[in-house]
Chain A
Amino acid sequence: METEPGSDRPGEVRKVMSARQSEVETTSRKLSTRGIAWTKLRRKKTAMLSLYVLVVLYAGALFAGFVSPYSYAHRNDAAQFHPPMLTSVHIFNSDGGLTRPFVYGGSTSGSGYSDDKSRVFPIRFFVRGDPYAILWVIRSDIHLFGVDEPGAIYLFGSDLFGRDIFSRIMFGSQISLSVGIVGIIISTTIGVLVGGLAGYLGGAFDFVSMRLVEVLLAIPGLYFILILRQTFGNDLDSSQVYFLIVIILSFIGWASEARVVRGMVLALKEREFVLAAQALGLGKFRILIRHILPNTMSFVIVTATLTVPFYILSEVALSFLGVGIHEPEASWGNMLSAAQNVRFLTDFTWILTPGVFILIAVMAWNILGDGLRDAADPRTLG
């Protein structure tokens, strides 16, 4: 742990030298509250693991086009419901010798797919394929891996239209995972500002905003989301639907946040440091933004982390019910809706794979949020 103050004033150095005698004291004095929280978080293995999982998932979403061998809309009518090939990537050839990874070509014979041992397709890296764009800017058609035509690689199998489920999960994560981040930023900003203003100003603004909060919290969430969604009609393209979902979810999501922040601000505004700031003649908004709201930050960050799953799951729910992201665009929710057909679900179990990804993402956010809550709690020792 870094204890060096990095100061060139001799007095400071001497102070540090004497403080060295008790290591614990030094750490807690030298680190900011945030530093302590970060140190505590680093010690939690499950929380850090979740953080790494999320980094991998979000990196996958960012580089979806590169990581996935096909585009989300790449159809192959001859390969409907092809079983997953993750376990049929071979590294030993028929003589038992080690070769570069390869897959066999598939052949449809009557009831299902079987490997055609005579057709070998080696897995190649950095191959050219469907064009894609990363962040709308970097355009390319080089994919991390792939096999030559007419062979195909479906790591997690293919869907009803012979589209690669792995690729669609990667592209779907761009929507399903970013909804959480974008939504939480918008709703937290609104929630903190409205809650802060309501608590600090009081009066009419407080009254009106809190009644609005009560109404928003009184309507059952999913139905309200659906009513709002229907207000904008069905003839929207996918990016419009995406922004609509984010805006609707944030519009509902800020309410509970605002209520708690208001309560915290009510308590904080009677504290000495606020009175001191008022005595110094600082402006109301400066006091609110610079002095009061930073004290609610650890709560806000923890709540935000724990609320991201709500956004992810809401997008899944809307797309699953058919009013969210629609075909051919991929989202984890609309991919799962294919499993509503019991026959498909029973015979082609791999169409449930997006559900596993939702579970992993939501669990990682929950565990990370839980770890952050413990880390931000000053009562627990670092």
Chain B
Amino acid sequence: MRTFVIRRLLALIPLLLVVTFLTQALLVASPGNYVDRMREGRQFSEEFIQQLTRQYHLETENVFVRYWYWLGQTLQGNFGYSFAYKISVWSLLWQRTLNTLLLAIASLLISWGLAIPLGMLAAVKRDTWVDKLAGIFSFAGLSIPSVFFSLLMLLFASKTGLFPIGDIHDQVYWGNFSPLQKLGDVLWHLVLPSMVLGLIGTAQFMRQMRSQTIEVLSQDYIRTAKAKGLSPSRILFRHAFSNAVNPIVTLFGFSLAFLLAGAVLTETVFSWPGMGRLTVDALINKDEPLIMASVVLLTVMLAFGSLASDILLAVIDPRIRLDGN
């Protein structure tokens, strides 16, 4: 297990180098940069702009030079300052990443919490109306664009007034809340965006869980368990469940990727202060230090997601040995 993890972490290094270099190259190739825009705005003195240009080596069009300086600073733990937000990229990203992870984890809880029991139910009640209803639901969930679903939820919130129409917490009374009230307020704001992402995820996992359960239920050991006289519920929950759930666990990394990328639109619609929207704005504004740091963070999070799902699978499935041979 340890060698496996170390090998995977080492493989991450060249991947990060390639990805960041590629990003840097594309940024250099793109026309204009943030400093040009500052100059157009005429709000900043020429000296300040000159200083920024020198600090980030924006004057050179040579990718290797730019990348070399960025890499040098980054390896010293200095991700630089965001051009647009004027604060350190790290402190900016830290908060936003937590917000996005909060949204992602809440959605994962919803999707797994619903998909596993519903998928098993559909498998047990195969070809009945329950199964058909579940099938329709999962097709709808697979097909509904997250933008459209988010907008529908926003419409629901604004028509009924039951839920807030955006942001992560109340802007007016936030300062006066007790810690418990703050927690409640954030959770209240979390409901709709996490429902959007969670229900879309449910549709995907449910199909998978259903077909896995159907496959497992036709295995010999299930027949043996029935012949032994075990109760149907024990067969389902002990024998079938633990075997059917394994492939779903491997989807963890994939679903994390989906949430990180798919969350951009939901974050935009619900004005959720997550890293998705931050990164998109940074890209549109050419906020270079922020873009580079976001790309590093996203790639690392994706790699860790898939590593985590491999480890999780090895933990719950004793047949899988990570160290190979």
A and B bind? yes
Q: Is B245 an interface residue when CB atoms closer than 8 A count as contact?
A: no
Contacts of A221 in B (CB 8 A): 257, 261
Are the C-beta atoms of A233 and B31 separated by less than 8 Å? yes
Are the C-beta atoms of B151 and A336 separated by less than 8 Å? yes
Cross-chain contact of A345 among B158, B257, B284, B295 (Cβ < 8 A): B158
Instruction: Give the B-binding residues of A (Cβ under 8 A).
Output: 214-215, 218-223, 226-228, 230-233, 309, 313, 316-317, 320-323, 333, 336, 339-340, 342, 345-346, 349, 352, 355-356, 358-359, 362-363, 366-367, 370
Q: A219-B295, A220-B257, A359-B148 are in contact. Are A226 and B283 (CB under 8 A)?
A: yes
Q: How many residues of B contact A (CB 8 A)?
A: 47
Cross-chain contact of A320 among B147, B155, B284, B294 (Cβ < 8 A): B147
Name which of B23, B27, B269, B302 has the most chain A CB atoms within 10 A of its CB. B269
A219 to B260, CA, bound (A): 11
Chain A residue with Cβ nearest B26: A231
Are the C-beta atoms of B148 and A358 separated by less than 8 Å? yes
Closest Cβ of chain A to B10, distance in Å, is 15
Are the C-beta atoms of A220 and B260 separated by less than 8 Å? yes
Taking A231-B30, A320-B147, A333-B147 as known contacts, 15 extra A-B pairs with beta carbons closer than 8 A to each other, sorted by chain A number, are: A219-B298, A220-B298, A220-B299, A220-B302, A221-B261, A227-B291, A230-B26, A230-B286, A232-B30, A313-B145, A320-B268, A349-B155, A352-B152, A352-B155, A363-B139
Interface membership of chain B positions 158-187, coded 1 if the CB is closer than 8 angstroms to chain A and 0 otherwise: 110000011000000000000000000000
Contacts of A214 in B (CB 8 A): 15
Are the C-beta atoms of A218 and B15 separated by less than 8 Å? yes
Are the C-beta atoms of A321 and B142 separated by less than 8 Å? no
Chain A residue with Cβ nearest B264: A222
Interface membership of chain B positions 135-155, coded 1 if the CB is closer than 8 angstroms to chain A and 0 otherwise: 000011011110110011011
Chain B residue with Cβ nearest A364: B143
A227 to B20, CA, bound (A): 12
A334 to B308, CA, bound (A): 37
Q: Is B32 an interface residue when CB atoms closer than 8 A count as contact?
A: yes
Are the C-beta atoms of B299 and A219 separated by less than 8 Å? yes
Are the C-beta atoms of A346 and B298 separated by less than 8 Å? no
Are the C-beta atoms of A227 and B145 separated by less than 8 Å? no
Q: In chain B, residues 291-313, which have Cβ atoms closer than 8 Å to a Cβ of chain A?
A: 291, 294-295, 298-299, 302-303
Q: A231-B29, A340-B268 are in contact. Are A219 and B19 (CB under 8 A)?
A: yes
Q: A219-B19, A231-B30, A363-B139 are in contact. Are A321 and B145 (CB under 8 A)?
A: no
Inter-chain contact total with CB atoms closer than 8 Å: 118
Closest Cβ of chain A to B154, distance in Å, is 6
Q: Is B265 an interface residue when CB atoms closer than 8 A count as contact?
A: yes
Are the C-beta atoms of B148 and A355 separated by less than 8 Å? yes
A316 to B27, CA, bound (A): 24
A104 to B3, CA, bound (A): 76
Q: In terms of DSSP, what is the predominant structure of the interface of chain B? A: helix
A345 to B153, CA, bound (A): 11
Q: Is B279 an interface residue when CB atoms closer than 8 A count as contact?
A: yes
Interface membership of chain B positions 196-233, coded 1 if the CB is closer than 8 angstroms to chain A and 0 otherwise: 00000000000000000000000000000000000000
Q: A231-B30, A363-B140, A366-B142 are in contact. Are A321 and B291 (CB under 8 A)?
A: no
Closest Cβ of chain A to B37, distance in Å, is 11
Q: Is B133 an interface residue when CB atoms closer than 8 A count as contact?
A: no
A-B contact pairs, 21 of them (CB 8 A): A215-B19, A220-B260, A220-B299, A222-B261, A226-B280, A226-B283, A230-B27, A309-B143, A316-B145, A316-B147, A317-B265, A321-B268, A342-B154, A345-B154, A352-B148, A352-B151, A355-B145, A355-B148, A359-B143, A366-B143, A367-B139
Chain B residue with Cβ nearest A46: B139
Q: In chain B, residues 103-153, which have Cβ atoms closer than 8 Å to a Cβ of chain A?
A: 139-140, 142-145, 147-148, 151-152
Are the C-beta atoms of B32 and A233 separated by less than 8 Å? yes
Chain B residue with Cβ nearest A347: B158
Q: Is B13 an interface residue when CB atoms closer than 8 A count as contact?
A: no
Contacts of A356 in B (CB 8 A): 148
Closest Cβ of chain A to B95, distance in Å, is 19
Contacts of A323 in B (CB 8 A): 284
A359 to B26, CA, bound (A): 33
Are the C-beta atoms of A346 and B145 separated by less than 8 Å? no
Are the C-beta atoms of B264 and A355 separated by less than 8 Å? no
A116 to B312, CA, bound (A): 67
Contacts of B23 in A (CB 8 A): 227
Closest Cβ of chain A to B245, distance in Å, is 23
Are the C-beta atoms of A339 and B145 separated by less than 8 Å? no
A83 to B228, CA, bound (A): 66
Interface membership of chain B positions 11-40, coded 1 if the CB is closer than 8 angstroms to chain A and 0 otherwise: 000010011001100110111100000000
